[in-house]
Amino acid sequence: MQKIKWSVVLGVGSAIIFSALLLIRLDVFQKNHEPVIQAQVANSQQPQDVWMNIFQNDRKIGFIHRTLEKKDDKFHFNENVRMEINMMGVTQALHIITEGDLNPDMTLSSFDFKLNSSLFSFQARGHVAGHQLILLTGLPDKQEKIEIPLQEIPHLGGSIYEAAFQNNLDKETTRTFSLFDPSTMSIRPIRVTRHADEIIPVMGKRVLTKKYCADLMGAQNCAWLDKDSQVLKETGIMGLSMEKTTKEKALGGMDQTASLDVTELASIPSNVQIDDKEKLKGLSVKLHGLIDELSLKGGRQIYQQDILTITKEDIPFSAISHKEFPANVVLYLKPSFLIQSQDHQIRNQLHEIIQPTDSAEQKARKIIAWVNRHIEKRPTLSVPDALEVLKNKTGDCNEHAVLSVALLRAAGIPAQSEAGLVYLRGRFYYHAWCVFYLDRWITADAVFNQVPADVTHIRLIRGETDRQLNLMGVIGKLKLEVLEQKR
């Protein structure tokens, strides 16, 4: 088997850290300053100009600059975020720009979102029209329209704490709000609880604050607000935090000492050494610290009373035609906004990989092998996009998985992404791979060129890439114990 640098398994870990940073950035930026803006701009009509530092375990990794002003009956905001994140010893630069309008109650009216890293870029813009959120994703010359039905107008991450503040949420009470995440184009509930008031140091002063904590899919984020509803400090998962500061300190540069590696920080130590994992026929582990929104049962995985048993699949002798796919499987032949399986670039590449006379199994094996050989294995901070991966031909496990899924679907083979853990060098790392359907679901990993994938691939999530956000609730909490290795 081809020797793989172990750093490539970090894709999901870095993606979750990115998501946490992005959600904090959206929350704090607007929660920090929309409240003040609503209280002050509405009266004085003066624009706001605010700076925040971003820390990881007390090391500065970035800053945020946000401006907001009242225009007619809306608030127009512009925010600029710069971060540097250590992934496997490689510093990744991330630049996020978000501009848009908020309604008087701080719910979303419109937005324009741009993300650029050292390798990838992602753009999305949208607006609320009646009971729909109309979205356009992709670069200007290649945009896709998405319409999301709305039960209620969501918040763009921001104004959630402010909404709890303005609703006079009593101590030790909880309320649920609707949150829109532009990086995954998804809307999710977020629960906010008010806790006891606390006195905290802020820019050299001690300030009495109201403390609120938000629960998003099991991940907790806390904020401390002053009497004017301005967020002064916020903390999140994996040692992430943000604090109000001056412009000079925000622009003062990053911490010169290396920040903690987010992949290593998220990984889970194994209680035993696993040798020749590709030869294992089965694996049993005991899991602790799970949440409900996981996909532990089904297919090669059996989960009972905290014990998860994984059995390596046998490849079916013959593949069935697409006309015979069950109704709940045909769905995974369709393209999505990040898996553009019907795009001519994806299809043109597919025609260079497979032959019309190939069986479904041969097509799947050729696709996985091609992605393994042609996509450079490199840690990446991005929103995984199949067309971008095909263009740049580089990325970590997320990029390998999303391109594999797009090519498989283009070949008429139902496919999905999976994410969870994989064993490597004495630890279990968060990782992503794919699964395709013959007459049953078969796991495959383009990073390691495995069809089927070895049994140390522990599935926690299956579905589109937005499902990976559910892992936020287990990172730092999940523990496992290897009970049995079957050979």
HSE of 359, CA atoms in CB hemisphere, 13 A: 12
Quick one: which H or E segment has residue 93? Answer: strand 90-102
Tell which residue, 106, 229, 81, has the closest CA to residue 156: 106
3-class state of residue 346 by DSSP: helix
Tens digit of each residue's pLDDT (9 = 90 or more) over 22-57: 444 443 333 333 333 333 333 334 567 878 899 888
Is 80 among the domain residues? yes
Which has the closest alpha carbon to 469: 223, 193, 225, 216? 216
4 domain-assigned: no
Please tell me what DSSP assigns to residue 445.
B
pLDDT over 50 at 6, yes or no = no
Average pLDDT (452-467) is 89
**What is the per-residue pLDDT for 50?**
78
- What does the alpha-carbon distance between residue 61 and residue 389 come to, in Å, rounded to a whole number? 26
Residue 5 scores a pLDDT above 70: no
Q: Which residue has the higher pLDDT, 146 or 446?
A: 446
Q: Rounded mean pLDDT of 135-163?
A: 77
Q: Which of 230, 245, 260 is the last residue of a domain?
A: 260
Q: What is the pLDDT of residue 40?
A: 34
Domain boundary among 260, 281, 313: 260
Which CATH number does the domain housing residue 25 bear?
A: 2.40.360
Nearest to 329 by CA among 340, 320, 339: 320
Q: Do 153 and 302 reside in the same domain of the chain?
A: no
- In terms of domains, do 382 and 479 share one? yes
Whether residues 353 and 321 fall in one domain: yes
C-alpha–C-alpha distance, residues 420 and 445, integer Å? 12
The answer as to whether 222 is a domain residue is yes
Q: For the chain, give the mean pLDDT.
A: 83
Give 366-414 pLDDT, tens digit per residue: 999 999 999 998 877 777 889 989 998 988 898 999 999 999 999 999 9
| Whether residue 288 is found in the same domain as residue 163 | no
Residue 412: CATH number of its domain: 3.10.620.30
- Give the angle subtended at the CA of 116 by the CAs of 407 and 415, to the nearest 5°: 20
Gap between the Cα atoms of 74 and 256, Å rounded: 41
Out of 9-23, 171-185, 203-217, 227-241, the most confident range is 203-217
CA dist., res. 242 & res. 33, Å (int): 13
For residue 141, name the pLDDT band (cuts at 50, 70, 90): low
Same domain, 335 and 438: yes
The vertex-83 CA angle with 77 and 87, nearest 5°, equals 145
Q: 120: burial class by Cβ within 10 Å (0-12, 13-18, 19+)? A: buried
The answer on pLDDT for 11 being more than 70 is no
Both 240 and 291 in a single domain? no
Same domain for 284 and 394, yes or no, is: yes
Q: What percent of the chain has pLDDT over 90?
A: 43
- Residue 23 dihedral angles phi and psi, to the nearest 5°: -65, -40
List the domain range (segments joined by +) for residue 163. Answer: 13-260
Clarify whether residues 322 and 211 are in a common domain.
no
The residue out of 260, 295, 319 marking a domain boundary is 260
Residue 184 forms part of a structural domain = yes
The whole-number pLDDT of residue 173 equals 93
CB 19 within 8 A of CB 472: yes
pLDDT in tens, 252-292: 877 756 556 777 778 899 999 999 999 999 999 999 988 77
How many domains is the chain partitioned into structurally?
2
Whether residue 399 sits in one domain with residue 439 = yes
1 is a domain residue: no
- Within-domain flag for 332: yes
In a domain, 361, yes or no: yes
Q: Is residue 8 part of a domain?
A: no
pLDDT of the residue at 33:
35
Tokens of 66: 């946000």
Same domain, residue pair 256 and 303: no
Regarding whether 379 and 431 lie in a shared domain, the answer is yes
Do 148 and 226 reside in the same domain of the chain?
A: yes
